[in-house]
Amino acid sequence: MITVPLHAIAHARTGDKGNRLNVAVIAHHPDVWDVLVEQVTEERVAALLAHRRPSAVRRYLLPNLYALNLVIDDVLEGGVNAALNLDGHGKTLSFLVLTLPVTVAEDVLATVRTTLDARAHRP
Amino acid sequence: MAPPLLIGNGAGFSGDRLDAAEPVARTLIARGGKAAMTFETLAERTLALGVLARETDPDAGYEPALAPLLRPVLGLCLDAGIPIIGNFGAANPRGAAAAIVRLAAELGLAPPRIVVLEGDDVRDVLDDPRIAWEGGARPARPIIAANAYLGAFPIAEALRAGAEIVVTGRIADPALALGPLIAHFGWGEHDLDALAAGTLAGHLLECGAQVTGGYFGDPGVKDVPAPEAIGFPIAEVTADGTITVTKADTPGGLVDRRSVTEQILYEVHDPAAYLTPDVTLDITGVTVAETARDTVVLRGTRGQARPPTLKATISTEGGYLGEGEISYAGPNALARARLAASTLRARVANLPVRLRIDLLGLQAVFDSDDGARGGPLGPDGEVRVRLAALADDRATAEAAAREVLSLYCCGPAGGGGVRTSVTRRVATTSALIPRDLVHPRVAMVSP
Domain spans in chain A, listed from the N-terminal domain onward: 2-80+87-120
Interhelix angle B153-160/B175-185, rounded to 10 degrees, is: 50
Query: Is the pLDDT score of A66 beyond 90?
Result: yes
Residues with Cβ within 8 Å of A107's Cβ and at least 6 positions away in sequence, in order, are none
B241 φ/ψ angles, rounded to the nearest 5 degrees: 85, 15
- In chain B, residues with a C-beta closer than 8 Å to the C-beta of A62 are 265, 271, 283-284
Length of chain A (residues): 123
Query: Is the pLDDT score of A121 beyond 70?
Result: no
Nearest chain A residue to B219 by CA: give it.
Answer: A120
Nearest chain A residue to B214 by CA: give it.
Answer: A13
- In chain A, residues with a C-beta closer than 8 Å to the C-beta of B397 are none
- Choose, out of A11, A61, A89, the residue to mutate when testing the contact with B (most B CBs < 10 Å): A11
- In chain B, residues with a C-beta closer than 8 Å to the C-beta of A67 are 261, 264-265
- In chain A, residues with a C-beta closer than 8 Å to the C-beta of B264 are 24, 65, 67
Classify burial at A2, counting beta carbons within 10 Å of its beta carbon; exposed 0-12, middle 13-18, buried 19 or more. exposed
Question: What is the pLDDT tens value at each position of chain B, 447 positions in all?
Answer: 799 999 999 999 998 999 999 999 999 999 999 999 999 999 887 888 899 899 899 999 999 999 999 999 999 999 999 999 999 999 999 999 999 999 999 999 999 999 999 999 999 999 999 999 998 999 998 999 999 999 999 999 999 999 999 999 999 999 999 999 999 999 999 999 999 999 999 999 999 999 999 999 998 899 999 999 999 999 999 999 999 999 999 999 999 999 999 999 999 999 999 999 999 999 999 999 999 999 999 999 999 999 999 999 999 998 999 999 998 877 888 888 889 999 999 999 999 999 988 888 755 556 656 666 655 556 666 778 889 999 999 999 999 999 999 998 888 888 888 899 999 988 889 999 999 999 999 999 988
User: Hey, are the CB atoms on B256 and A119 less than 8 Å from each other?
Assistant: yes
User: Hey, are the CB atoms on B284 and A17 less than 8 Å from each other?
Assistant: no
Q: Answer whether B168's CB lies under 8 Å from B93's CB.
A: yes
Classify burial at B378, counting beta carbons within 10 Å of its beta carbon; exposed 0-12, middle 13-18, buried 19 or more. exposed
Nearest chain A residue to B321 by CA: give it.
Answer: A84
User: Hey, are the CB atoms on B220 and A116 less than 8 Å from each other?
Assistant: yes
Task: Say which of A24, A26, A86 has its CB closest to residue B358.
Answer: A86
Amino acid symbol at B245: V
- In chain B, residues with a C-beta closer than 8 Å to the C-beta of A20 are 269
User: Hey, are the CB atoms on B428 and A16 less than 8 Å from each other?
Assistant: no
**What is the rounded distance in angstroms from the CA atom of residue B146 to the CA atom of residue B125?**
10
Bridge partners (DSSP) of residue B309 are B434
pLDDT confidence of A123, banded at 50, 70, 90?
A: very low
- Residue B368's pLDDT is 58
Residues of chain B with CATH 3.30.70.60: 316-429
pLDDT, tens digit, 9 for 90 and up, residues A18-34? 788 999 999 999 999 99
Residue pairs between chains A and B whose CB atoms are closer than 8 Å:
108
Q: Answer whether B235's CB lies under 8 Å from B7's CB.
A: yes
3-state class of B200 per DSSP? helix
pLDDT confidence of A39, banded at 50, 70, 90?
A: very high
**What is the rounded distance in angstroms from the CA atom of residue B266 to the CA atom of residue B211?**
10
- CA-to-CA dists, residue B276 to B5, B279, B282, B299, angstroms: 21, 6, 11, 19
Task: Say which of B254, B267, B356 has its CB closest to residue A22.
Answer: B267
- In chain B, residues with a C-beta closer than 8 Å to the C-beta of A86 are 358, 360, 386, 388
CA distance B306 to chain A (A): 20
3-state class of B278 per DSSP? coil
The alpha carbon of residue B97 and the mean position of all alpha carbons in its chain are separated, in whole angstroms, by: 20
3-state class of B302 per DSSP? strand
Q: Answer whether A68's CB lies under 8 Å from A11's CB.
A: no
CA distance A4 to chain B (A): 15
Q: What is the CATH number of domain B316-429?
A: 3.30.70.60
Residues with Cβ within 8 Å of B25's Cβ and at least 6 positions away in sequence, in order, are B8, B10, B37, B72, B73, B76, B77, B80, B82
- In chain B, residues with a C-beta closer than 8 Å to the C-beta of A113 are none
Q: Is the Cα dihedral B366, B369, B372, B377 positive or negative? A: positive
- In chain B, residues with a C-beta closer than 8 Å to the C-beta of A85 are 356, 388
CA distance B276 to chain A (A): 14
CA distance B264 to chain A (A): 9
- Residue B328's pLDDT is 86
CA distance A64 to chain B (A): 6
The alpha carbon of residue B84 and the mean position of all alpha carbons in its chain are separated, in whole angstroms, by: 17
- Residue B356's pLDDT is 87
Residues with Cβ within 8 Å of B4's Cβ and at least 6 positions away in sequence, in order, are B33, B34, B236, B237, B238, B239
- CA-to-CA dists, residue B107 to B75, B76, B93, B110, angstroms: 8, 11, 21, 9
- Residue B439's pLDDT is 97
A59 φ/ψ angles, rounded to the nearest 5 degrees: -115, 130
Nearest chain A residue to B284 by CA: give it.
Answer: A62
**What is the rounded distance in angstroms from the CA atom of residue A6 to the CA atom of residue B217?**
17
- In chain A, residues with a C-beta closer than 8 Å to the C-beta of B218 are 11
